[in-house]
Amino acid sequence: DAKTTQPNSMESNEEEPVHLPCNHSTISGTDYIHWYRQLPSQGPEYVIHGLTSNVNNRMASLAIAEDRKSSTLILHRATLRDAAVYYCILRDLNYGGSQGNLIFGKGTKLSVKP
Amino acid sequence: NAGVTQTPKFQVLKTGQSMTLQCAQDMNHEYMSWYRQDPGMGLRLIHYSVGAGITDQGEVPNGYNVSRSTTEDFPLRLLSAAPSQTSVYFCASSRPPGTANTGELFFGEGSRLTVL
């Protein structure tokens, strides 16, 4: 299964943009790039996903490199509530039974300073 | 909207005891799964189901049983608890591929299990 590489931790100041990087050099043509986040003592929460084009939703933006070997999750204005572990995950379009072997690595722990 | 509901939220067991972690979803999702999360680690898939009556093993299935008699419920059974099963357990559900909003997993709040 294709894997992703993320920094272990990042810090940000409140109300500033945050760019969370993810490398996925072995991504296949049918892999979607998904981002989840996990707030303290909660289950993971879906943030955003994309295939080739940049994506925006109410929570964040996803910028995907042209060769798709890396992507960046962008939080436009970090708040204290955004402090969480962010997971970058590849999920096959045809994910079938095991839900595409959704593999959660250790993610990036984002700290937000007031 | 309830989403994915897990019970109990906390449980302490003695080695050798059995118990069932309950998971229910009200979104009519066909796909359901169980993950465990150990301290400082990501989530690992235990068992999953693609519909009522169908289950299969994930990455770490040993020591756990599942069944799926209805679309809504997907209980996880520990037959003889061991200290190595001390963990936080998450249940998740999703739509199958090819449907609207494909890809989004909905997770419960977790069940924290301690085995002494």
Mean pLDDT by 10 residues, chain A (114 residues): 86 96 91 91 92 91 96 96 94 61 82 96
Predicted pLDDT of residue A31: 84
Residue A105: list chain B partners with CB under 8 A.
42
Predicted pLDDT of residue A13: 96
A46 closest CB neighbour out of B40, B45, B104: B104
* Inter-residue contact B33 to B66 (CB < 8 Å): no
Chain A interface with B: residues with Cβ < 8 Å = 32, 34, 36, 41-46, 49, 87, 91, 93-99, 101-107
Model confidence at B97, pLDDT cuts 50, 70, 90, reads: low
Across all residues in chain B, what is the average pLDDT?
91
- DSSP letters along B66-78, please? E--SSSSB--EEE
- DSSP letters along chain B, please? ---EEEE-SEEEE-TT--EEEEEEESS--SEEEEEEE-TT--EEEEEEEEETTEEEE-SS-TTEEE--SSSSB--EEESS--GGG-EEEEEEEEPPTTSTTTT--EE---EEEEE-
Which residue in A has a C-alpha nearest to residue B10's C-alpha? A41
Predicted pLDDT of residue A61: 97
CA-wise closest residue to B98 among A34, A94, A53, A46: A94
Predicted pLDDT of residue B72: 96
Contact yes or no for B40 and A106 at CB 8 A: yes
Tokens (6 digits) for A102: 């959704």
Q: CA dihedral defined by A95, A97, A99, A100, rounded to 10 degrees?
A: -40
B57/A2: higher pLDDT = B57
CA A12 to chain centre: 16
Q: Report d(CA B17, CA B82) in Å as an integer.
A: 8
CA-wise closest residue to B65 among B74, B78, B55, B83: B78
Which residue in B has a C-alpha nearest to residue A46's C-alpha? B104
* Inter-residue contact A31 to A92 (CB < 8 Å): yes
Cα-trace Rg, chain B: 14
* Inter-residue contact B67 to B75 (CB < 8 Å): yes
Predicted pLDDT of residue A44: 93
Minimum distance, in Å, between the CA of residue A5 and any CA atom of chain B: 13
Contact yes or no for A98 and B41 at CB 8 A: no
Contact yes or no for A96 and B41 at CB 8 A: no
A94/B4: higher pLDDT = B4
What is the rounded average pLDDT of the residues B8-13? Answer: 97
* Inter-residue contact A2 to A28 (CB < 8 Å): yes
Contact yes or no for B48 and A99 at CB 8 A: yes
Residue B39: list chain A partners with CB under 8 A.
none
Q: Report d(CA B20, CA A107) in Å as an integer.
A: 29
B58 closest CB neighbour out of A87, A98, A107: A98
Amino acid at B87: S
